[in-house]
């Protein structure tokens, strides 16, 4: 029931906004097309401004991931996480979660292909994938768009949330799906 409601919302959200905002604007006597163009003009400059920041961050993450450094790290962290109910197969996904959105989606897909979506591994990987965001990507893009290079304590806050999200995923999946 709840799921049906959520599916309807996700199908309708974008068309709804694209319909209601311009119609409401028109009724309030806003020159809607002109206003649209005026706002849209900013899209290009903002997107271009992000390029250097994103190149810097994605290159470092990609080298780290491709080199096998990640496997070494998951071997290091493996024993600790296994004691709290995490299968070793899910570890690389947990480590990559804050770093790379597309990378993690690829890993989750791979785990489900191998173990099936309804296995414990498949369910845990799905939950981790849906929990929290790719913190480093968001920080890079958002701060980059306004030229900020000193992130202050926001990395600590973001990583705290990520780690909490991962541990909570492990906890709830062990509770519900074991």
Partner 1 sequence: MLNVIWLVLLASGIIIAAINGQVEVATQAALGAARGAVEVCFDLIGIMALWLGIMRIGERAGLVEALARALRPVMSKLFPSVPAEHPAMGAIILNLSANVLGLGNAATPFGLRAMQELQKLNHKSEEASVAMCTFLALNTSCITLIPATIIGVRASFNSADPTEIVGPTIFATACAMTLGVTVDYLFRTRSRWGRDDRAD
* Stretch 66-125 residues interacting with partner 1 (CB under 8 A): 66-69, 72, 105, 108-109, 112-113, 116-118, 122-123
Candidates 78, 82, 84, 157; binder of partner 1 (CB under 8 A) is 157
Provide Rg for the chain, Cα atoms.
21
Candidates 75, 76, 84, 160; binder of partner 1 (CB under 8 A) is 160
Distance set, CA 53 to CA 142, 148, 167 (Å): 10, 10, 30
Q: How far apart are CA 121 and CA 130, in angstroms?
A: 14
Q: Is 178 in the site for partner 1 (CB under 8 A)?
A: no
Q: Which is nearer to partner 1, 88 or 159 (CB)?
A: 159
Q: Which is nearer to partner 1, 88 or 133 (CB)?
A: 133
Which window, 24-32, 77-85, 88-96, contacts partner 1 (CB under 8 A)? 24-32
Distance set, CA 72 to CA 66, 136, 172 (Å): 12, 21, 27
Which window, 39-47, 74-82, 88-96, contacts partner 1 (CB under 8 A)? 39-47
CB of 83 to partner 1, least distance (A): 19
Structure tokens at 83: 């004691």
- Total residues contacting partner 1 by CB under 8 A comes to 98
Terminal C-alpha separation, the chain: 25
Q: Is 10 in the site for partner 1 (CB under 8 A)?
A: yes
Say what the alpha-carbon torsion angle 172, 125, 66, 79 is, to the nearest 10 degrees: 40
Q: Which is nearer to partner 1, 82 or 155 (CB)?
A: 155
Candidates 9, 75, 82, 84; binder of partner 1 (CB under 8 A) is 9
Q: How far apart are CA 90 and CA 74, in angstroms?
A: 10
């Amino acid at each position: 029931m709840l799921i049906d409601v959520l599916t309807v919302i996700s199908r309708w959200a974008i068309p709804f906004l694209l319909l209601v905002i311009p119609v409401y604007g028109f009724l309030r006597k806003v020159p809607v097309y002109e206003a649209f163009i005026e706002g849209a003009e900013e899209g290009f400059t903002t997107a271009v401004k992000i390029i250097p920041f994103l190149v810097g961050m994605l290159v470092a993450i990609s080298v780290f991931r491709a080199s096998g450094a990640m496997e070494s790290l998951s071997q290091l962290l493996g024993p600790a996480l296994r004691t709290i109910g995490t299968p070793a197969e899910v570890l690389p996904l947990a480590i990559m979660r804050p770093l790379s959105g597309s990378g993690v989606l690829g890993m989750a897909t791979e785990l489900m292909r191998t173990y099936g979506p309804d296995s414990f591994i498949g369910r845990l990987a799905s939950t981790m994938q849906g929990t929290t965001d790719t913190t480093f990507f968001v920080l890079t893009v958002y701060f980059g768009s306004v030229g900020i290079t000193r992130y202050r304590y926001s990395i600590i806050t973001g990583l705290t949330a990520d780690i909490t999200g991962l541990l909570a995923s492990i906890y709830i999946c062990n509770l519900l799906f074991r």
